[in-house]
Amino acid sequence: MMAEKTLEIGGLIIQWLGHTSIGIYGEKVIYIDPFSEVLTGTERKADLIISTHGHRDHFDVHAINTLSKEMTHVVVKSGCEKENLLSKSIKELDINDTCTVDGTDIRAVHAYNIKRFRSPGVPFHPQGFGMGVLLKVGATKLYYAGDTDFISPMKGLKDEKLDVAFLPIGGTYTMDVEEATEAALAIEPRMVVPVHFNHVKGTEADPTAFKRRTEQRTKVQVIIL
């Protein structure tokens, strides 16, 4: 698999740190869902950290605290147990809430399962439990889908004219390769970065298959990091 180390766009350097952890480096340092298991310990301290839901691989208190400095802002989905976070600036979001933190515009959007269940009728990620986020960093528009299936609210994101979408492809807990292609077709960002695969058991997937399938059916460029 040929993979790029970073994606550079709009003055930003974007890294996939592993699993669903993303680093965004520009005038500010931003992390989304940092997870201790994929961090190296050499990461720069954060200006902003976003956590999309309360599962430990997305809301990792140790990782958040390790990456925090005195003035780090932390934005979490409501319901996360934030009591042990060291940051003095913590903001909770519910779906459709918006905020501007340290110059970054953030909007919480739906992320939930309609096909993946831990037991009959009980999804791994029920509606309202987690969030995806739309970010505007400078002039660059980003979408981090979070742990989700391909759901109908995503169809409205086409109007956002997104630059980069981070879509899970691993299946079991999120959409798989085929559904992620359908999501890319509906959203039509300029670029997609596949995430949430080949780290947690049950999320084995081939990003090159996703790239081939998606680029055959859309004008979207798939960047494998």
Q: List the domain boundaries for the chain.
A: 7-222
According to the model, what pLDDT value does residue 4 have? Answer: 77
Please say whether the beta carbons of 43 and 59 come within 8 A.
no
Whether residue 81 contacts residue 108, with contact meaning beta carbons closer than 8 Å, is answered with no
**What count of residues does the chain have?**
225
Torsion of CA 203, 146, 30, 91, to 10 degrees: -140
Beta strands 140-144 and 130-137 are antiparallel
Confidence band, pLDDT 50/70/90 cuts, at residue 174: very high
Q: Can you tell me the mean pLDDT for 116-144?
A: 95
User: CA Rg, the chain, in Å?
Assistant: 16
pLDDT surpasses 80 at 153: yes
pLDDT, position 199:
94
Portion of the chain with pLDDT greater than 70, in percent: 99
Average pLDDT over residues 185-203: 96
> Degrees (nearest 5) of the Cα angle 218, 183, 112?
175
Question: Of 61, 70, 84, 74, which Cα lies nearest the Cα of 30?
Answer: 74
What's the fold here for domain 7-222? Answer: Metallo-beta-lactamase; Chain A (3.60.15)
Please name the residue ranges forming H helices in the chain: 61-67, 177-187, 207-217
Q: What is the pLDDT of residues 61-98, one digit of tens each?
A: 999 999 999 999 999 999 999 999 999 999 999 999 99
